[in-house]
Amino acid sequence: MKIALTGATGYIGSHVLTELRDHGHDVVALVRDAGQAETVAARGAQPVVVDLHDRAALAQVLADTDGAVHTASPGDATSAELDSAVVDAVIDAYTGTGKPYAQISGLWIYGDNTEITEESVFEAPALVAWKEPIERRVLAADGFRPIIVVSSVAYGDGAGGMPGVLLGSPRDGDGNLVMVGDGRQRWSTVHVADLADFFRRVLEDDTATGYYVLGNGDRPTVAELTEAAAVALGAPGAVPGSEQEARTRFGDYFAEVLLLDQATTADRARKELGWRPTHPTLAAEFREGSYRR
């Protein structure tokens, strides 16, 4: 297939690009400038410089593809505007075609819940409350195959935002890392390569549609992850923080999502699409893998 991909130079998108290319698909990477175009071309994609907010221009590019994956995100207050603009263009280009469109989302939309499934109630904190209305608009559109991939915390290859949060933890007077909150909350996780594998599967399987909650089934506490991060850094250990310390460090909105207690087994992805995570856990990566310094 010929797949349009946003965010191809980003953490998740770059892995999706590699996964698609490795399995024989052509990738049209939608980028914002010539520098990014050079980067994706070197990795085997066909670059197209386009403003993702330009509905007509983006729809014209999409019309010449067999499907699309949207992973781009500025990660700031303009994220909702970008997602909405991309969805508008997808609806224009794909209505009546039956083509697949897969969009990244995040587990935070479910709030505190350690048994998250696709049927779980949305309890989105303020930071991500804008996501559900846009995702519902995707799913309500007619004539194409919409997929929302709800990802757990992505990690792997020595990178990722949430591993970076732990590796960047402040230290106490003895050099121990200070946990986010008291460390008892769980973070559901997924290796970025396993996440990219799932994106390929939903594009290739004509039955895949709707929400898919993704996580590797590991249920680590933030205490366990921070202790493993201490090993990666050569720190003596980790000590509990507090909610107030987290809010001071990250601000209220970001701290609220970091303090969520979450887990999932991703049963639908496993049963319907045969998805099986194969990479080491985040704690193992910290202790023995790509994050060791």
CA atoms lying within 13 Å on the CB side of residue 178: 15
Angle of CA points 190, 195, 200, to nearest 5° = 165
CA 74 → CA 18, 79, 81, 198, 265, distances in Å?
Answer: 21, 6, 10, 23, 29
Q: Rounded to the nearest 5°, which phi and psi values hold at 10? A: -85, 180
The pLDDT tens digits for 211-226 are 999 999 999 999 999 9
Q: What is the pTM of this model?
A: 0.96
Nearest CA-CA partner of 159 in 24, 282, 258, 261: 282
Using an 8 Å Cβ cutoff, are 168 and 174 in contact? no
Strand partners of residue 238: 177
Q: What pLDDT sits at residue 186?
A: 98
Using an 8 Å Cβ cutoff, are 103 and 135 in contact? yes
Counting Cβ atoms within 10 Å, is residue 59 exposed (0-12), middle (13-18) or buried (19+)? Answer: middle
How far is the C-alpha of 141 from the C-alpha of 136, rounded, in Å? Answer: 9
Look up residue 1 and give its two tokens. 């297939």
Q: What pLDDT sits at residue 238?
A: 98
**DSSP code for 110:** G
Q: Identify the segments of the chain with pLDDT beneath 50.
A: none
In the chain, what is the straight-line distance between the N-terminal and C-terminal CA atoms, in Å? 39
For β-strands 153-155 and 189-191, DSSP reports them as parallel
Angle of CA points 164, 170, 243, to nearest 5° = 90
- The DSSP annotation for 236-282 comes to S-EE---HHHHHHHH-HHHHHHHT--EEE--HHHHHHH-----SPPH
Domains delineated in the chain: 2-155+188-216+263-278 (3.40.50.720)
The pLDDT tens digits for 119-155 are 999 999 999 999 999 999 999 998 999 999 999 999 9
Nearest CA-CA partner of 85 in 57, 109, 104: 57
Q: What pLDDT sits at residue 75?
A: 85
For β-strands 100-106 and 145-151, DSSP reports them as parallel
Using an 8 Å Cβ cutoff, are 268 and 140 in contact? no
Q: What pLDDT sits at residue 175?
A: 98
- Residue 205 burial (CB count, 10 A): 15
Using an 8 Å Cβ cutoff, are 283 and 224 in contact? yes
